[in-house]
Amino acid sequence: MNVAVKATSSSNRTGYKSFELGSFKFSRDEYFVYIEWRSKKGRMTHYMSADAFLRAMMRDVAWGFFYYQVNFDHVFGTNNLYGRVQMFAGSYNETFKAQGLDLIETFETPQIMATFQAILADWTNAGFDPFAAPAETTTDWLGKKHGNNDTAINRQRQVSKRMVGLPGDTPIRTDANGYPVNRAFADVDQSQPEIHAEKGYEGRVHGFNLFAHLSRSDVTWNPSVTSVCKQSLFCPTSEEYILPIKHGNDRVEWFIQLSDQILWDVEDKATGRPRAKVVMKAGDVAAMPADIRHQGYSPKRSMLLVWENVNPRIAEMHATGEIPPYPIKF
C-alpha cells in the first residue's frame, strides 16, 4: 500500500521537517518535539524531549503498535485497534479529559505507520540509536539535523514461528551473525545444551540457551518471540534504563524476571492515577492486569520474560467484561 505522508520541506533553521496526520501536527527543534492539536477549547501544544519522543516512537513502530495502548508519556500516545490505530492527546489524562482538552482520531494502520516511520527517519540523527541504552549511544539526538541512522531504526523484531534454532526458524544469535554478547552480560554462560538426537530425530530433539540468546540482544525493551505454545508466546527481552513508553494493556500480560531486577510503576489505564509499585527480582512472576498501564526501570541490563496470550478474542472479552481484568481469583 503506497501511502502519502504529509510533510513540509526541511526547516532552513534546524534542518528538520514538520509533519501532519489528521488534526495533529508534529515538529521538532534542537531539543524538543512539539505536538499540536485542536481541542474543543482551542489549540493545545504538548512538548517532549526529542530523545524521549524518538525512543517511544521507535517502540511503537517496531512493535507494530503492540497490544493496545502505547503512551509516549502522560499525554500523547496510540491505541492499536488491530487494523486501525487511534492517536490521542490527553484522552487518558484525567485533567485533560475532564477539561475537554483531549483529542483522539483514528487512522488506517498503513497511514499512521508511514507517518511515524517518516518522522523517525527524518528526526533520528547519525550516531543516535533509539533502541540502545543511554550508555550505549550518543547525544546526537540533539542539535540541528545531521545525517540519519536508518540501519538502527529499521531493525526487524525477531518472531519465531515455533522455537529459536529450529530449521527454518529464527536463528540462534552468534558473533558470526551479528549478535556479540552485550557488555552488561559478559559473565553469562554461553554454552548450548547437549543435544543427543538419534538418527532421524535431529529436528525434533532440540534446545538452545535462552539466557545466552538474550545476552546477545542488540536492543532494549523490544521483545522477540522465542517459543510458541498454541496462543501462548514467550517474548523475552533485555532491559536497561527506562521503558520509553507506558504500556496500557487490553489483556493480562505476565512478567517473569529472569535476571537482575526491574522496578515497575503501575497506573490506572483510564486516568493515569498511581496504583502500585512492583519490584521484581530474579525468579519473580507477576501479572500485569488488563486495566493498568505500566512503565519499567531497570538499574542494570536485565532479562525479562514477557508472556503474552494472542487469543484473537481476548481484547474483546476483556473490553465487554466477559472475563475480569485480573487473571487469578484466590
Which residues in the 297-316 window bind another protein by CB under 8 A?
Answer: 300-301, 307, 309, 311, 314
Residues 185-224 that bind another protein (CB under 8 A): 185-189, 191-198, 201, 204-212, 215
Taking the least distance from each CB to another protein, the nearer of 126 and 135 is 135
Contact residues for 69 (Cβ-Cβ < 8 A; gap 6+): 77, 78, 79, 80, 92, 247, 248, 249, 250, 269, 293
CB of 12 to another protein, least distance (A): 45
Distance CA 225, CA 210 (A): 11
In terms of CB distance, is 84 or 275 closer to another protein?
Answer: 275
Q: What is the CA radius of gyration of the chain?
A: 21
Binding residue count for another protein, defined by CB under 8 A: 76
Q: Give the nearer residue to another protein in terms of CB position, either 126 or 197.
A: 197
Which region, left, alpha or beta, applies to residue 272 given φ > 0 means left and ψ of -120 to 50 means alpha?
left
Shortest distance in whole angstroms from residue 277 CB to another protein: 4
CB 152 within 8 A of CB 130: yes
Q: How far apart are the C-alpha atoms of 244 and 257, rounded to whole Å?
A: 19
CA–CA separation, 116 and 56 (whole Å):
11
Q: Kindly tell me which of 176 and 328 has the beta carbon lying closer to another protein.
A: 328
Q: Which positions from 277 through 296 interact with another protein, judged by CB under 8 A?
A: 277-289
Give the span between the Cα atoms of 16 and 18, in whole angstroms: 7
State in angstroms the smallest separation of the CB of 280 from another protein: 5
Listed ranges 65-73, 112-120, 228-236, 241-249: which one lies at the site for another protein (CB under 8 A): 228-236
State which of positions 133-192 bind another protein (CB under 8 A). 162-163, 166, 183-189, 191-192
Residue 43: which H helix or E strand, with range?
strand 42-49
Footprint (CB under 8 A) of another protein, residues 91-110: none
Closest approach of Cβ 34 to another protein, in Å?
Answer: 32
**Nearer Cβ to another protein, position 58 or 219?**
219
Nearest to 112 by CA among 75, 81, 139, 135: 81
